[in-house]
Amino acid sequence: MKIFTRTQIQELDNYTIEHEPIKSIDLMERASRAITNAITDRWTPNVPVVVFAGPGNNGGDALAVARMLIDQNYQVQTYLFNITGHLSEGCAANKERLCSTRGNALFTEVTQEFDPPRLEKGMLVVDGLFGSGLNKPLAGGFASLVKYINSSNAQVVSIDVPSGLMTEDNTYNVRANIIKATLTLTLQQRKLSFLFAENQQFIGELKILDIRLSKEGIEKIEAQYTTIEDKDIYPILKPRDPFAHKGTMGHALLVAGSYGMAGAAVLATQACIRSGAGKVTVHTPKRNVQILQTTTPEAILHTDREETFFSEAMATDDYQALGIGPGLGTTEQTSIAMIAQIRRAQCPVVADADALNILGTRHAWMQQLPKGIILTPHPKELDRMEGQSLDSYERLTKARQLAEKLQGYIILKGHYTAICMPDGHVAFNTTGNAGMATAGSGDVLTGILTGLLARGYQQREACLLGVYLHGLAGDLAARELGEESLIASDIIRFLPKAFLKVKK
């Protein structure tokens, strides 16, 4: 599903109005009907409602919702803020319609001073002050009103976007001046800012309402950001040749583990094997041999000359993919061997964990990374590589720019893991859960990605499929085991079921 910017949202509205065709006021009526239905599905007419409407089209939606709720016998107080004396065309039309209904005595148009109504527990506030068109932080009276609403015990429904929250970049926003919604009823599609962890406090529960904007318009408008859905994954899957043998299904090489960190190598190796590669070789220090042979007998073992750390790069001519980093350590000798290994690679490379930590302290080495490389940082690892970020939007921007500069793939891990591609496109994953916030989960992802690359998937396909399967396996594990007790090896255990689910 595409995620549109503030300007593209307006472009899609205009396209719908022109090509359906439909009048702007009628499209507003359609949206308001969907919002009203969502409210009446959850709150009964005995809940007092206070509607705050701004002067733009978001306020027009709010006024229409107030009218529709009154028609269904809700007790509604409506406040329209017309401080500048200018209303949008849709807002003005819905003001007139509201004032023509019974219950118009509970309508107040605020032009100067405002005496706010008492907001109590058991009341519902409909926030229609500002929507997706907002491009600067709230200030003055609107900021005071937001703070007043947030300090109350009333439940809050925000129309499209919580007032004060911008649809994309909130790096320099004033967070005290953003509505904290109980429920956000967003129109047609998610907004980019909804995908960032620090904004969840404002969004509350999210419900996406289909208001039937033009499907043709959605297809025509190019989007830099998308979400990965079920329908995007099935076409990527490669059928398994009935006459295949281990020699034709790809040979993966994992360089992982140091003394005391053999578990990272085990998890990455087991996940790689479970991802369909015909053969998996793991290069690891001598001290890890017994652990790996005991836990993962399917793997081929290649031991480093050192007892406790990785010290020498291997030739990769016989391998179709290289995964490097899990549990590797960051000593000077290991660091030099790591960059040498990546430079010698004649196959696609996945770099994770300590490989990223090494790059984070040796920024000049970034220039030596091959095109098409896949880096899988969590936020702190990316900050070490690209500098501290003030918020998730700035961090995502840096990840996207890094992918373009390297002509590689940056998988920025999180609740909505972002796959940043060489062409500037970003795809957000929609699978996964909080139970996966556990040690070793990233090692499993590295193994999955490396296995898929060895199996013959191109980097873009491997990133989309690998991240989706990783999250889906975690979801299936959480469904059976719960989130609290989920561990990384559970993700591997449920990986076969994730493959089966995608194939179905």
Confidence grade of residue 504 (pLDDT, cut at 50, 70, 90) = confident
Average per-residue pLDDT for the chain: 97
What is the predicted pLDDT for the residue at 329?
97
- Tell me the mean pLDDT in the region 445-474: 98
Residue 470 in this model has a pLDDT that exceeds 70: yes
Residues 419, 422, 425, 431: what is their CA dihedral angle, to the nearest 10 degrees? -10
Residues 324, 195, 402, 424: what is their CA dihedral angle, to the nearest 10 degrees? 120
- Helices marked H in 44-193 — which ranges? 57-71, 89-99, 140-151
Residue 476 in this model has a pLDDT that exceeds 90: yes
What is the predicted pLDDT for the residue at 440?
98
What is the predicted pLDDT for the residue at 101?
83
Domains in the chain, ordered, with CATH?
Answer: 2-222 (3.40.50.10260), 230-503 (3.40.1190.20)
Of 183, 187, 217, 232, residue with least CA distance to 39: 183
Model's pTM, two decimal places?
0.96
Contact 169, 138 (CB under 8 A): no
Over residues 286-331, the pLDDT tens digits come to 999 999 999 999 999 999 999 999 999 999 999 999 999 999 999 9
Taking the C-alpha atoms of residue 156 and residue 174, their distance in angstroms, rounded to an integer, is 19
Tokens (6 digits) for 268: 């990455």
- Tell me the mean pLDDT in the region 267-271: 98
Q: How far is CA 309 from the centre of its chain?
A: 36
Residue 44 in this model has a pLDDT that exceeds 80: yes
Rg of the Cα trace of the chain?
Answer: 27
Taking the C-alpha atoms of residue 59 and residue 323, their distance in angstroms, rounded to an integer, is 53
Residues 98, 100, 104, 110: what is their CA dihedral angle, to the nearest 10 degrees? 60
